[in-house]
Amino acid sequence: MTSRMTQAERRASTRAALLVAGRRLFAERGYDDVAAEEIVTAAGVSRGALYHHFDGKAGLFEAVFVEIEAELVANFPLEELVGGDPFAALRSGVSRFLDLSLQNEVQRIALIDAPAVLGWTRWHQIEADHGLGLIRAGLDAAVAAKQIKDLPTEDLANALLGSLTESALAVARAENREAAHRRAEQVLVALLDGLSTDR
């Protein structure tokens, strides 16, 4: 029993070391400029461990991307989106999301490299799995509170996720990211305000 626990702990430690090393290197230089050998050296593990845990560099990259997406979603507590003022939470969430998209690892890994490395279909599926449900819950709460127009929230959530993602991509690729961030926030908040029942 003890030896099995030790083996399980070793596996978890090896996996964690690969995630940390891969995340740092992918954020610093991008997927294409990082060799698998660099990752295993930085993680202090064998090349076989990379293939055992992630089936290679691409599998590790996907796991890193999923980890970042989960952390992004954790910045938007569900109770805030469905609480007393869901529309205000949606509006402030736009600014918070764009702020987070200025982080180097979010830009490089989640917004720039992920669509190319994983392909658009897989990238969009992961984005939808993490962010779409959260957006829809906020929209459902805002409709129930009669703060926004009673539109189909599934379709509306897809439209908002697309707008947020494309805006964040534009910010990530802009020469002046701070200015692009301000413009994107202004446009996205205006889009949300257009849904308000007060207008």
- Which sequence spans correspond to the domains of the chain? 2-193
Each residue's pLDDT expressed in tens, for the chain with a length of 199 residues: 445 568 878 889 999 999 999 999 999 999 999 999 999 999 999 999 999 999 999 999 999 999 999 999 898 888 888 888 999 999 999 989 998 888 889 989 998 899 999 998 998 889 888 888 889 999 999 999 999 999 999 999 999 988 998 999 898 888 998 899 999 999 999 999 999 998 6
| Residue recorded with tokens 């917004």 | 111
What does pTM read for this prediction?
A: 0.83
| Residue recorded with tokens 């908002």 | 160
Q: Which alpha helices (H) appear in 128-176, and where do they start and end?
A: 133-144, 153-173
Cα 7 from chain centroid (whole Å): 32
CB 180 within 8 A of CB 170: yes
φ/ψ of 148, rounded to 5, equals -130, 165
**In whole angstroms, what is the distance from residue 134 CA to residue 58 CA?**
27
Topology adopted by domain 2-193: Tetracycline Repressor; domain 2 (1.10.357)
CB 91 within 8 A of CB 56: no
